[in-house]
A and B are shown apart, each in its own frame.
Chain A
Amino acid sequence: MGENGGFLFPNDLHILWQLMIVMYPYVTGLVAGAFILSSLYHVFHRDELRPIGRLALVASLGFLLFAPFTLLLHLGHPERCYNTLVTPNLSSAMAMFGFIYAGYMTLLLAEIWLVHRQDIITLASRSTGIKRTFYKCLALGVYDVSPESRKVDHGVLLILAGIGIPGAAFLHGYVGFIFGAVKANPWWSTPLMPIIFLCSAIVSGIAMVIILYSIGLKFSNRKIDAPCMQSLARWLWMFVLISITLELLEIMTLAYEAAEEWEIIGPLLGDQLAFSFIGIQIFLGAMVPIILLGIVVLMSRYLTDQIRNTLCFVASLLLLLQVFAMRWNVVIGGQIFSKSMRGFREHYTPGLFDKEGIALAIAIFVLPLLFIILFNRVLPVFEQPDEQLSTDTGTPSE
């Protein structure tokens, strides 16, 4: 028997895909979003975004490194995960994960390597001992910093970033497809799913970079670059608007068509998911940031840097929450109702120290941040004013 006396299929008692499967699209979304943001600088030459060009790439790498742990923690047999690479089912979206992941990892590493190559060589020449060996290995034993080599780097970088944009879109679009392709589940099964996932991924990526950038500069006692923040706010605003429009359009269509599935999705959204959907995903997570960012974008000239930064920071935090709520509502929401379409399962609250519990979810979210800090100790994440490259713009020195 379901919560409200409805009928559940006997095998449908529990929520099968739990917190880790909520984390999975969330984390890969951050990866894709941050990467697409970095491409705005590296490919589309939005030069005002230069200060976060590297940060976005490194953040993307950090989250990409830890993304598989969400899946591994979820699997019943994580030790067999290599099966997805050995005998991938060509008709399964999920089987492509290993390949898309590996490809994307390669691309991202290559791009970060090229972006940092000059620094690597400088550091190799400056340091001694093991450190020197380490940087020499990173440089692959080539210490060519001639303008010609830089030109080559730049060309390759452009190509990589160019491949990277569809790559990022694919990485995350495919996550949406995993859900969108389940025809048994009317709350998932929509061709809009990949696009919705992609747009909210970009939102979360930009929001995450804004937060990292704000905090990172705060700790290194440097000033946030106003044009950069303004530009970030503009991009973020645009993608929130697109994202929330798509999310609402999907539901409006479902509600208006009022086909069979609405009989279960209506009560799902209005009742079961009232807090996380209406409260967080729509109101607090989307409407409030849209207003905050709207102020930043439309009333830019009346704002002091302080206010702009604060508004952007708060909006970004809320948007990170919104995207998480959106993932939650899709993944958990899609399983609250039984496939009988006639009843709801028991409520799901993740345990604290479960395999798919809150503690590990937080760890997966925090570890990439630690990775960024660690990375920053090896190679600079923020552009240095005294760098050979940053002669034109970049963050002003203290």
Chain B
Amino acid sequence: MPTIPVSNSECGGGCGGAPSAGTRRDFLKQGAKALGASVATIILCDMTDLTKMAEASGATPQRANLFADGYDWTKHSYVYLVDIRKCIGCGSCVRACSRENNVPPAHFRTWVERYRVSRSGEAVIDSTNGGMDGFEPSQTGLDITKAFFFPKLCCHCTHTPCVQLCPVCASYRTVDGVVLVDETRCIGCGYCVQACPYGSRFIHPETHTASKCTLCYHRITKGMTTACVQACPVEARMLGDMKQVGDKVAEIIATQRVLILQPELLTDPNCYYLGLTKEAR
């Protein structure tokens, strides 16, 4: 087969005059080399970027501060504490969360479950509308010996499967320990919803992207507390900061018998519970 003839126009303006066959070939060679080198550099850069990112996951910020308003996310590490013994099941937190975050109906960024356990260990659990309308007194037909309310929310796990599994890096954990979703990049595959052992994620019925508790990131970065914590009338919910000296929650976690949900999965949750009992899951 004949080789493809190279037209002069391909030579571009750089050749000048009437180049001999030799210089033209040289030029093409040089061009190919240059192109190859630049592509190779891009590949190399992209690859090292990716691997570096996978390792660093925010530990070494390259910019001094991400926030324009003076908030420094390296100086915070948020934790959450729920005291089950205090919760009165009023649902204020669920209502507040829904209003604060415009949570779609029948979906919950936080919710409250009611556990009623009989002497023989049978548990009747309910969470009608996530506890948003409070709870009704109802008969269980059992000899209830133990009953309590069990507030839930995203545990903002340190080793969270939802971030690990997100195919497009739309789920991530911030430097100050909050698991967030980049709604502009989420493809809505729902893998993270499947991956969350606590059922705290859902696909937003309107945006078709994953949605979840943001720990009221728009509030806590402004020095406010979360809507649910502020709404709780009995201080059953508390927001803490492990990097603040003398933080009340950090002190409780350090000194008291706090438990986490499904510790066997080693997701390393940052939501701690006081007064958890074996039936609660």
Q: Which residues of A contact B (CB under 8 A)?
A: 1, 7, 9-13, 16-17, 71, 74-78, 80-81, 83-84, 86-95, 97, 141-143, 178, 181-185, 335, 338-342
**B165 with A181: CB separation less than 8 A:** yes
B108 contacts which chain A residues (CB < 8 A)?
10-11
A93 contacts which chain B residues (CB < 8 A)?
165
Question: In the complex, which residue of chain A has the Cβ closest to the Cβ of B51?
Answer: A90
Residue B208, interface by CB 8 Å: yes
Which stretch from B21-29, B37-45, B72-80, B198-206 is at the chain A interface?
B198-206
B187: which of A10, A16, A80, A341 is its contact (CB, 8 Å)? A80
A16: which of B170, B190, B200 is its contact (CB, 8 Å)? B190
B167: which of A9, A97, A183 is its contact (CB, 8 Å)? A97
Binding site secondary structure of chain B: loop
Q: How many A-B residue pairs have CB under 8 A?
A: 135
Q: Considering the chains assembled together, what is the distance between the CA atoms of A88 and B187 in angstroms?
A: 12
Residue B169, interface by CB 8 Å: yes
Report the minimum CB–CB distance from A250 to chain B (whole Å). Answer: 19
B169, B197, B209, B281 — most chain A CB neighbours (10 Å): B169
Which stretch from B7-15, B61-69, B124-132 is at the chain A interface?
B124-132
A10, A95, A185 — most chain B CB neighbours (10 Å): A10
**A87 with B169: CB separation less than 8 A:** yes
Question: In the complex, which residue of chain B has the Cβ closest to the Cβ of A95?
Answer: B167
Q: A16-B190, A89-B166 are in contact. Are A80 and B200 (CB under 8 A)?
A: no
**B166 with A81: CB separation less than 8 A:** no
Question: Total interface residues on B, using CB and 8 Å?
Answer: 48
B166 contacts which chain A residues (CB < 8 A)?
89, 92
**A11 with B126: CB separation less than 8 A:** no
Binding site secondary structure of chain A: loop
Q: Considering the chains assembled together, what is the distance between the CA atoms of A7 and B167 in angstroms?
A: 31
**B167 with A88: CB separation less than 8 A:** yes
What 0/1 readout, one digit per residue, does chain B (145-189) give for beta carbons within 8 Å of chain A?
000000010000000010011111110000000000000011111
A87 contacts which chain B residues (CB < 8 A)?
168-169, 185
**A75 with B201: CB separation less than 8 A:** no
Complex A-B, nearest 4 residue pairs according to Cβ-Cβ distance, in ascending order = A76-B188, A76-B208, A9-B199, A184-B197
**A11 with B202: CB separation less than 8 A:** yes
Report the minimum CB–CB distance from A379 to chain B (whole Å). Answer: 22
Residue B71, interface by CB 8 Å: no
Q: Considering the chains assembled together, what is the distance between the CA atoms of A182 and B199 in angstroms?
A: 13
Q: A10-B111, A90-B50 are in contact. Are A183 and B168 (CB under 8 A)?
A: no
Q: Considering the chains assembled together, what is the distance between the CA atoms of A142 and B4 in angstroms?
A: 12
Report the minimum CB–CB distance from B271 to chain A (whole Å). Answer: 15
**B195 with A184: CB separation less than 8 A:** yes
What 0/1 readout, one digit per residue, does chain B (48-91) give for beta carbons within 8 Å of chain A?
00110010000000000000000000000000000000000000
A1 contacts which chain B residues (CB < 8 A)?
126, 128
25 cross-chain CB contacts under 8 A: A9-B111, A10-B106, A10-B129, A11-B111, A11-B199, A11-B202, A16-B190, A75-B189, A76-B207, A77-B186, A77-B187, A83-B187, A84-B167, A84-B187, A86-B168, A87-B185, A89-B166, A89-B168, A90-B51, A97-B167, A182-B194, A184-B161, A184-B194, A184-B265, A340-B199
Report the minimum CB–CB distance from A276 to chain B (whole Å). Answer: 20
Report the minimum CB–CB distance from B207 to chain A (whole Å). Answer: 8
Residues 106 to 125 of chain B near chain A (Cβ within 8 Å) = 106-108, 111, 113, 123, 125
Report the minimum CB–CB distance from B242 to chain A (whole Å). Answer: 25
**A16 with B186: CB separation less than 8 A:** no
Q: Considering the chains assembled together, what is the distance between the CA atoms of A78 and B189 in angstroms?
A: 9
**A83 with B170: CB separation less than 8 A:** yes
Question: In the complex, which residue of chain B has the Cβ closest to the Cβ of A98?
Answer: B167
Report the minimum CB–CB distance from A70 to chain B (whole Å). Answer: 12
**B190 with A17: CB separation less than 8 A:** yes
B232 contacts which chain A residues (CB < 8 A)?
none
Q: Considering the chains assembled together, what is the distance between the CA atoms of A88 and B51 in angstroms?
A: 11
Residue B196, interface by CB 8 Å: yes
